[in-house]
C-alpha cells in the first residue's frame, strides 16, 4: 500500500536507531501551525471534513518537523538493486524461521482470515514479514510528525497532504489520539504498514472488540491485510508467478497489470501447467547474477503490487510465502 518506494529494512533499522539518537540531542522543533501552508490546509479541512479551525491549529501545533524523514524519503532502494540482491534482503533463513513461528503462533487467525477472505495465508504472513519483520519493526516516528513534515516540507508532497488529511479524519472516526500513533517515516502504520487512506478503506476489526488495532493486535492486522488483498481482486488458488521459456523476443516489464492472453503467448514461449486460454498475464524480467529470467505474472501478482508497486517487491513476497508454506506447522 505504499505508493512511494520502500527502502530496504536494513536502511530502515539504521534510520530508527539514528532517529532516536538525533531526537534526544536536538532542540525542540517548532510545530506546523505557523507554517506558510498551514492556513490553506486548515481551510481545506474545515470545508471538506467539518473540523474546526481551533482543533486543526492545535493538532498542527503539536506536529514536529523531522529533518531525518526528509533525508530518508529521498533514498529509493528497489529501483537501484537487481533482483538477486533485492531478494537476499527478504529471503534470509532468519526471516523464514520467524515467519514460520509467526504462522504457528497465530494459526487459528490465519485459518479464519484465509477462509473469510479467500486469500493465501502464507502471502498475508509474507507481506507482514517483508513490511515489518512480523511486527517487530513497525516504525517509531509519530505519524503526525511524519505526515506533517512530508505534507508541508517535501517537494513531492500532494500524496502526503492527502494522507495527513486522511490521518486526521481516521483519528476522529476511530477516537485515536492524533499525537500518539506511531509509524514509519512515511506514515505507514502497524504490522502491515497501512497508510491512513488504506486504513480507512481496508482495516478491519477482526477480533470483534470494537477497535481496529493494527499496531498491537495481530488478529486485526492479519484480517486487515487479508481484506486488502481480497478487495484488490485476489483469486483463490490461482497462480502468482510462473516461469516461461521464451522462443521469441517479447516485451517485458511494460505493465504490472496482466494484459496478454495466454493463447496469444503460445507462439512466444512454453510453460508448465494448464490455465484457461483467456487467462491474462504480464511478462516480467528479473536479473540473476549471470542471466535474466522472464516470468508470467498473473492477477495475484498484480494484487501484491497494489501493496507496493514494484515487481521486485511482489516476487519477494511471493517467494517468501512459498518458503513459509514449506513449514509443516501450519496447513491452510
Ligand atoms: Ca479489534
pLDDT tens for residues 216-239? 999 999 999 999 999 999 999 999
C-alpha cell read off for 173? 472516526
In a domain, 331, yes or no: no
Average pLDDT over residues 47-52: 98
DSSP line for 86-108? HHHHH--HHHHHHHHHHHHHTHH
| Structural domain count of the chain | 1
Whole-number Å distance between alpha carbons of 175 and 195: 17
Q: What is the pLDDT of residue 26?
A: 47
Q: What is the pLDDT of residue 75?
A: 79
Whole-number Å distance between alpha carbons of 39 and 231: 36
Q: What is the pLDDT of residue 327?
A: 74
- Distance from Cα 27 to the centre of ligand 1, integer Å: 38
pLDDT tens for residues 171-207? 999 999 999 999 999 999 999 999 999 999 999 999 9
Q: Which residues of 284-302 are buried (b: 16+ CB within 10 A; e: fewer)?
A: bebeeeeeeebbbbbbbbb
In a domain, 174, yes or no: no
Whole-number Å distance between alpha carbons of 79 and 287: 12
In a domain, 247, yes or no: yes
Going by pLDDT thresholds of 50, 70 and 90, the confidence category of residue 131 is very high
**Is pLDDT above 90 for 126?**
yes
Going by pLDDT thresholds of 50, 70 and 90, the confidence category of residue 156 is confident
Going by pLDDT thresholds of 50, 70 and 90, the confidence category of residue 3 is very low
**Is pLDDT above 80 for 97?**
yes
**Is pLDDT above 50 for 8?**
no
Going by pLDDT thresholds of 50, 70 and 90, the confidence category of residue 20 is very low
Provide φ and ψ at 125, rounded to 5°: -65, -40
- Distance from Cα 85 to the centre of ligand 1, integer Å: 38
In a domain, 162, yes or no: no
- Distance from Cα 68 to the centre of ligand 1, integer Å: 33
Whole-number Å distance between alpha carbons of 207 and 88: 35
Q: Name the residues annotated as catalytic.
A: 131
- Local structure of residue 27 (DSSP, 8 states): P
Name the one residue in this structure whose C-alpha cell is 497462480: 239
- Local structure of residue 75 (DSSP, 8 states): -
**Is pLDDT above 90 for 13?**
no
In a domain, 80, yes or no: no
Q: Is the full-model pTM beyond 0.95?
A: no
- Distance from Cα 325 to the centre of ligand 1, integer Å: 27
Average pLDDT over residues 44-62: 97
Going by pLDDT thresholds of 50, 70 and 90, the confidence category of residue 329 is low
Whole-number Å distance between alpha carbons of 325 and 322: 5
- Distance from Cα 106 to the centre of ligand 1, integer Å: 15
In a domain, 75, yes or no: no
In a domain, 195, yes or no: no
DSSP line for 170-182? HHHHHT--TTT-E
- Distance from Cα 199 to the centre of ligand 1, integer Å: 13
Q: How far apart are the first and last CA of the chain?
A: 25
Give the chain's mean pLDDT: 90
Q: What is the pLDDT of residue 179?
A: 97
**Is pLDDT above 70 for 22?**
no
**Is pLDDT above 50 for 305?**
yes
- Distance from Cα 322 to the centre of ligand 1, integer Å: 28
**Is pLDDT above 60 for 14?**
no
Structural domain range at position 276? 241-297
**Is pLDDT above 80 for 85?**
yes
- Distance from Cα 103 to the centre of ligand 1, integer Å: 19
* More confidently predicted of 20 and 163: 163
**Beta strand 260-261 pairing with 245-246:** unpaired
**Is pLDDT above 60 for 18?**
no
Average pLDDT over residues 32-59: 97
- Distance from Cα 173 to the centre of ligand 1, integer Å: 15
Distance of CA 250 to CAs 87, 246, 268, Å?
Answer: 24, 8, 7
In a domain, 101, yes or no: no
Whole-number Å distance between alpha carbons of 308 and 311: 9
Question: Lowest-pLDDT range, 80-94, 138-152, 164-178?
Answer: 80-94
Amino acid at each position: 500500500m505504499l505508493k512511494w518506494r520502500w527502502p530496504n529494512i536494513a536502511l530502515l533499522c539504521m534510520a530508527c536507531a539514528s532517529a532516536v539518537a538525533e531526537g534526544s540531542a536536538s532542540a525542540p522543533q517548532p510545530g506546523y501551525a505557523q507554517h506558510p501552508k498551514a492556513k490553506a490546509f486548515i481551510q481545506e479541512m474545515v470545508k471538506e471534513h467539518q473540523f474546526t479551525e481551533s482543533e486543526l491549529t492545535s493538532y498542527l501545533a503539536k506536529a514536529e518537523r523531522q529533518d531525518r524523514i526528509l533525508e530518508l524519503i529521498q533514498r529509493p532502494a528497489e529501483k537501484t538493486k537487481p533482483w538477486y540482491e533485492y531478494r537476499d534482503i527478504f529471503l534470509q533463513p532468519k526471516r523464514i524461521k520467524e515467519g514460520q513461528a509467526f504462522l504457528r503462533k497465530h494459526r487459528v487467525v490465519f485459518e479464519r482470515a484465509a477462509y473469510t477472505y479467500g486469500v493465501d495465508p502464507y502471502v498475508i504472513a509474507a507481506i507482514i514479514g517483508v513490511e515489518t519483520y512480523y511486527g517487530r519493526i513497525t516504525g517509531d516516528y509519530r505519524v503526525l510528525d511524519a505526515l506533517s513534515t512530508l505534507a508541508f516540507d517535501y517537494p513531492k508532497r500532494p500524496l502526503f497532504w492527502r494522507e495527513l488529511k486522511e490521518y486526521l479524519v481516521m483519528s476522529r472516526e476511530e477516537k485515536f489520539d492524533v499525537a500518539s500513533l506511531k509509524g514509519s517515516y512515511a506514515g505507514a502504520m502497524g504490522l502491515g504498514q497501512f497508510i491512513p487512506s488504506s486504513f480507512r478503506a481496508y482495516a478491519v476489526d477482526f477480533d470483534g472488540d470494537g477497535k481496529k488495532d493494527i499496531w498491537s493486535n495481530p488478529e486485526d492486522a492479519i484480517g486487515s491485510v487479508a481484506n486488502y488483498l481480497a478487495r484488490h481482486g485476489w483469486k483463490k488458488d490461482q497462480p502468482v508467478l510462473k516461469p516461461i521459456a521464451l522462443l521469441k523476443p517479447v516485451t517485458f516489464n511494460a505493465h504490472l497489470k496482466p494484459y496478454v492472453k495466454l493463447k496469444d503467448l503460445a507462439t512466444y514461449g512454453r510453460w508448465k501447467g494448464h490455465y484457461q486460454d483467456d487467462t491474462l498475464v504480464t511478462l516480467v524480467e528479473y536479473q540473476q547474477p549471470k542471466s535474466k529470467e522472464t516470468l508470467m505474472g498473473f492477477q495475484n501478482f498484480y494484487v501484491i503490487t497494489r501493496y507496493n508497486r514494484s515487481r521486485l517487491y511482489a516476487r519477494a513476497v511471493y517467494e517468501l510465502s512459498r518458503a513459509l508454506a514449506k513449514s509443516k506447522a501450519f496447513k491452510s
